[in-house]
Structure 1
Amino acid sequence: MAKVSSSNGLEKCPKLRFPGFIKQYKAVTLNQISSQIKRNDPQSNAPIMMLSARNGFIKQSDKYSRDNAGQSLKKYTLLKKGELAYNHGASKAKQFGCCYELHEEEARIPYVYHCFKVRDTEYSPYIALALNNPKMDRQLKRLVSSSVRMDGLLNISYDEYMSVTLYLPDFPEQKHIANFIENLERRIEKQKTFIETLKKYKRGLLHKILTEKIKVTQTAWNMHKIGDFLSPKNIKQLPTSDIPLMAFTATGGVCDKGERYDRSFLIKDTSAKLYKRTDFNDFIYSSNNLDVGSIGLNLYGSAVISDVYEIFSISGADPWFISETIQHKSVLHKILKYRQGVLYGQYRIYAEDFLMVPIKVPSFEIQKQIGDIFSKIEYRILKEQNLLENLEKTKYYFLQQLFI
């Protein structure tokens, strides 16, 4: 793959091109290479689908647990394989909407989407990638005439969307680029599946050990309170340049549904006030939203953390075993019984109640053996998640370098 650049600063070409492709890119508007789709068939049995900014076409029932089209279903557009739709709804993932190609044979989709078919002179998967590329946002931003409507849609009409400019190579290069990105996306999906398989294996093994379906010792397990092993830490200090602030995030932290451990990133926050000091293998607990798993071990060394979290040191028990035990669904069920009221839309479970919850534990030696097993699995998951992040960064890089 060769790096290329404009000789005079005016010629439109990408920063990277595959060997063997030298023809200049052409500038076209979307309406020059496409035609509108207004197909409708109230009697169709095609699946009811919608556009997700992150995942493309998904079944409506997968998002809402049921099809909620109601009476408007008869007005839904019938889209066929290879045709494209633009959802001009703002979202966190795509501020100016998203455009995807349909890979299923047929689908009924909301009539508010802008639907179109790309002419045979262009490769539709490439056009979909170009239209969904972050670089397109600059043009779409200029088209937004006012704020988001009450129905969540941006005020971008079909004709306005068709006016965007695309810079296109010839058909063979379009296909080569699209196939390259498709192979990269396929690798990313395999990585996601592998990570989910590891997590499922870990959950299943944990359940069998803690319910003693797998016998790891003939000695009876004893009942204790969580507070027998966790001691509150109240050390406070201002963040400094060498001790970063640990931020738990809903997209990559212990606050995420199904996540067991702190996958947070570390940031500097010059506006921070008082924070608690946390160190490696401290147990971190939030009294808010415990039902989504906002608890876990600190796996990232020394940091400071917001006062909304409680910090506990672990003594008299293996940290990994205790952390896994507390996060097992049978223990979480007991913890959730202490939920009190709602503050700012969140349930609260106070630390004094949390520490009183009973748990069943074996001897320290058995705890250590079990903890070692799960630490190895968890660190493998972290390793694979880091690989996934690198793959996604690689895809973003090529989307920036191969497109104009």
Structure 2
Amino acid sequence: MEVAVIQKKETKLVPKLRFPEFNEGWISNLLGNVTNYTKGFAFKSDDYKSEGVRIVRVSDLGVNSIKKDIDKVFVDTVFSKSHGKYLLHKNNIIITTVGSKPEMIESAVGRGIFIYENNQGLLNQNMLKFENIDSFDNGFLQGIINSKRYQYFIKGIARGNANQSNITVKDLLNFKLNIPSLPEQQKIASFLSTVDTKIQQLQRKKELLEQYKKGAMQQIFSQKIRFKPALSEVEGREDDRSDYQDWEEKQLGDVLTFISTNSFSRNDLNYEEGEVYNIHYGDIHTKFKSNFHLSSEEVPFINSNISLSKISDEKLCILGDVVIADASEDYNDIGKAIEIINTNNQKIVAGLHTFLGRDFENSTIVGFKCYLFQTDYIRKQIMRIAQGISVLGISKKNLSKISFELPCKEEQQKIADFLSAIDNKIDKTVEQIESTQQFKKGLLQQMFV
């Protein structure tokens, strides 16, 4: 009997990383035994109003928060009072019972959303909200929900296909979790909340920088804001610092000559080895920055068993070239473009469903065109010339006719320098967000059993 007792003590549940004032073992229990929950209500579309109290639907949820910049639905304030049990309160947790497979994080079934503020709305169907109770800390529970063990559990109980999966409440409540004392729960929750606050602050900073850039671009390309020559450009005479010359009306065909591209599919590419990098239109849609630096992008090679004899030197991308996606399933990505800023002295070609535009007349500076293609004025024209039903496409002929106004090269340089400085700040903020998220991930692996 004594041996059995010793074995039990040796295997008591404790995390790898722990606050020093706690030393008791953690206790195993089921989620359903330590929480109280409320199922969302099936609000009818007939009850929806243009204002009032918001209805929070599954489609309103992001990875870890309720989306704000989407079309919202409401119910009348008086009507909402009779459905008060579905109101979301600060420190509640929402868990979805429908969604995509757990691997698809943005819309995954079973993901948990922590509510940081009151007055977020009423909970719609296909979700649960875990209530605030005195004996269990929801901040601690949210840490468990973010853990790999919980995500693995959801993967095991999810049913359905990749796009539409579901979990039952019964299966969810059978999730086994390991729990410390309430004071230790609260300490862990408080610490993780501090990390989350840091992440939220950085995300807000990124949003504000992106809004500032968007506003600045609108002002610059509508010429409501103009750059002036530096004193050094006018021999130091302040009275000679007039505006640069007027912008010239152009069409894209006046500036860019289009060079033929290849049609290699994903099966013809790899990320391990090769002589020539290939820019695929799908990567322009999803991951490449508009100011393309090879050294900071993950670009596939053309497979070594494919002949490169038809790729002449002229078809290799050079600095200042613009690579444009000529096909997309939606208007947001059709005609999306990147400008080659750095090749790292490597061979790069434009691939499937792309146009390669080159400024043979040298009328633009390197780093300006990537911003030109982001302007609302050009984006709207590209959307108008896009054709197709399930897949949209644009032609070189119509693209060449898109009109715009072009500043002199000196002003282009100032515009590019100004906007790239904002992009650099955004990139650094993204790095801080990713670093802090990685730090949190490490904590979750070590602070929970």
Query: Structure 1: how far apart are the matches of 2:83 and 2:418?
Result: 55
Pairwise CA RMSD? 3.9
Residue aligning to 1:348: 393
Matched, 1:50 2:57: yes
Query: Structure 1: how far apart are the matches of 2:17 and 2:279?
Result: 37
Higher share of residues assigned helix: 2
Residue aligning to 1:125: 139
**Conserved? CA contact 2:40–2:129, under 8 Å:** no
Residue aligning to 1:383: 428
1:110-121 correspondence runs (5 A): 110-117=124-131, 119-121=133-135
Matched, 1:14 2:15: yes
Query: Structure 1: how far apart are the matches of 2:367 and 2:30?
Result: 57
**Conserved? CA contact 1:80–1:102, under 8 Å:** yes
**Conserved? CA contact 2:284–2:338, under 8 Å:** no
Q: Which amino acid aligns with 1:98?
A: R
Cα 1:244/1:29, change in 2 over 3 Å: farther
Q: Which amino acid aligns with 2:149?
A: K
Q: Which amino acid aligns with 1:321?
A: F
> SS at the partner of 1:189?
helix
> SS at the partner of 1:47?
strand
Matched, 1:98 2:98: no
> SS at the partner of 1:18?
coil
Cα 1:75/1:214, change in 2 over 3 Å: closer
Any idea what the Cα deviations from partners look like across 1:173-223, whole Å, max 9, x if unmatched? 222222222222221222122222222222222222222212332522212
Count the aligned residue pairs.
384
Query: Structure 1: how far apart are the matches of 2:418 and 2:25?
Result: 57
Matched, 1:266 2:298: yes
Q: Quote how far apart the aligned CAs of 1:148 are.
A: 5.1
**Conserved? CA contact 1:234–1:311, under 8 Å:** yes
> SS at the partner of 1:208?
helix
Residue aligning to 2:406: 361
Say which of 89, 102, 109 aligns to 2:123. Answer: 109
1:178-189 correspondence runs (5 A): 178-189=189-200
Query: Structure 2: how far apart are the matches of 1:233 and 1:19?
Result: 66
Residue aligning to 2:381: 334
Query: Structure 2: how far apart are the matches of 1:179 and 1:77?
Result: 27
**Conserved? CA contact 1:135–1:400, under 8 Å:** no
Matched, 1:139 2:148: no
Query: Structure 1: how far apart are the matches of 2:331 and 2:132?
Result: 46
1:3-402 correspondence runs (5 A): 10-37=11-38, 46-51=53-58, 52-58=61-67, 63-67=70-74, 78-81=86-89, 82-91=91-100, 92-93=104-105, 95-105=108-118, 107-117=121-131, 119-144=133-158, 146-147=159-160, 152-154=164-166, 156-216=167-227, 217-234=243-260, 240-241=273-274, 244-246=277-279, 248=283, 252-253=287-288, 261=291, 265-268=297-300, 278=317, 281-289=320-328, 291-293=331-333, 294-299=336-341, 301=343, 302=346, 303-304=348-349, 306-315=351-360, 316=362, 317-342=364-389, 345-402=390-447
> SS at the partner of 1:310?
strand
**Conserved? CA contact 2:292–2:341, under 8 Å:** yes
User: How many percent of aligned residue pairs carry the same amino acid?
Assistant: 18
What 5-or-longer segments of structure 1 have no aligned partner?
Answer: 1-6, 255-259
Residue aligning to 1:4: none
Cα 1:397/1:271, change in 2 over 3 Å: farther
TM-score where L is the length of structure 1: 0.79
**Conserved? CA contact 2:244–2:411, under 8 Å:** no
Query: Structure 2: how far apart are the matches of 1:18 and 1:245?
Result: 50
Any idea what the Cα deviations from partners look like across 1:62-117, whole Å, max 9, x if unmatched? 54443499xx9988951452343321112321544212343443542124323443
What 5-or-longer segments of structure 2 have no aligned partner?
Answer: 1-7, 228-242
Any idea what the Cα deviations from partners look like across 1:145-189, whole Å, max 9, x if unmatched? x42599x451x3222211110012222222222222222222122
Query: Structure 2: how far apart are the matches of 1:58 and 1:372?
Result: 33
**Conserved? CA contact 1:78–1:109, under 8 Å:** yes
Larger Rg: 2
